[in-house]
Structure 1
Amino acid sequence: MNRLEELLKQADPKGPAPVERWNPPYCGDIGLAILRDGQWHYQGSAIARLAMVKLFARVLRRDEDGRYYLVTPVEKVDVAVADAPFLAVEMQAEGAGRGQSLLFRTNVDDVVRCGADHPLRFVTGDPQGFKPYLHVRGRLEALVTRPLVYDLVELAVEGDNGALGIWSGGAFFPLPT
């Protein structure tokens, strides 16, 4: 069994906190931010303890208004997010073509199997080329890091409609043209 599959099996069976069901009062901006490189900051200082970042990540939510919040049953505070709240930092491909399955690990150790429930989307217009994002949970995504973008491109095949793209979990994700 490969490493990411093993991590997926070890994941907390309860899953992430049920932040979508919580509706606490808004308590303001306390100075939390997630930078483009995935680094979490509190009032301008990096949060160095990965355990603390993982705890915060479990209660992160993006509301319909596009804003990010840390949410508990009793309070909701702002989080400024420069791009995406998470980074996809490791990828594992199994199989090929339509039978291919991609497994990703984020910088906060969420393991996500790409497919219809966790799709890839591509944004164009970045000076370095297109940027892929992976749906993690709720309205939260992980930016696929540049080294993994090259790995994704290597996995690209022609789909049914002639477009070049990536298969995972029975879903086809066309690359931007």
Structure 2
Amino acid sequence: MPMPPPPDLASLSLAEIAKLASEQRLPPVASWNPEHCGHSDMRIARDGTWYHQGSPIGRPAMVRLFASILRREPDGRHVLVTPVEKLDIDVEDAPFVAVEMKLEGEGEATEIAFRLNTGDLIPAGPDHAIRFEEHDDGPHPYLAVRGGLEALIARPVYYELAALALNNGSDPAGIWSRCAFFPVEPA
């Protein structure tokens, strides 16, 4: 079954985005427990590019399909899982990248949604927290996606978040979305 193309974030309201996100039908990978079968010969680069045997996967529908069966194991490994097999996949940073942001409201009434490189729409809030981690090259912002999977927030989107945090008057500086506050300082 072909995966539908991702919706255009700019044309949707935050209420429509939240509704679409809640209606996402993903395979029940958390309930599948097949035997480990080895490595998939796949990796996800820091920029969100998916590779198989060293070559980028050029079909966005294939990437969306593989992303739908991605799971994070309790030991931190990433795997692709089906009812009959489980294969490791290398992930350089986070398996997804938040490439676009939309916001509505101000202050504590702000709502923010992100579009991932896979087309998934994720409304930030209590179930999808934003966190910051300090690395050698500066802060790395992350968005909780599902089941321990995260999206690295792309640098241009991070700059939008930083401006929002600096301009909203909160102390410490941070971001509100869906009644949840996320401080910008790394934990």
- TM-score by length of structure 2 reads 0.87
Q: Which has the higher strand share?
A: 1
Out of 126, 149, 154, the position equivalent to 1:145 is 154
Judged with a 3 Å threshold, the aligned counterparts in structure 2 of structure 1 residues 148 and 137 are, in CA distance, closer, same or farther, namely: same
1:18-167 matches, within 5 Å, as 18-127=28-137, 129-156=138-165, 157-159=168-170, 162-167=171-176
Distance change in 2, residues 1:31/1:63 (3 Å): same
For residues 25 and 91 of structure 2, what CA distance do their matches in structure 1 show? 23
Shift of 1:126: 3.4
Shift of 1:17: 1.3
In structure 2, C-alpha distance between the alignment counterparts of 1:18 and 1:41, rounded to whole Å: 24
Q: 1:12, CA displacement in angstroms?
A: 8.3
Aligned-partner residue type, residue 165 of structure 1: G
Number of equivalent positions = 174
Q: Structure 2: which amino acid aligns with 1:169? A: R
**1:15 aligned to 2:25?**
yes
What is aligned with 1:3? 11
CA contact (8 A) 2:133 2:140 kept: yes
What secondary structure, in the 3-state scheme, does the structure 1 residue paired with 2:58 have? coil
Distance change (3 Å), C-alpha of 1:14 and 1:174:
closer
1:168 corresponds to 2:177: yes
Q: Name the residue aligned to 2:3.
A: none
Deviation at 1:8, TM superposition (A): 5.3
User: By how many angstroms is 1:20 displaced?
Assistant: 0.7
Structure-1 separation of matches of 2:20 and 2:173 = 34
Corresponding letter in the other structure for 1:83: D
Question: What RMSD, in angstroms, separates the aligned Cα atoms of the two structures?
Answer: 1.8
Unaligned runs of at least 5 residues, structure 1: none
- The one-letter amino acid paired with 2:144 is H
In 2, distance between residues paired with 1:43 and 1:2?
35
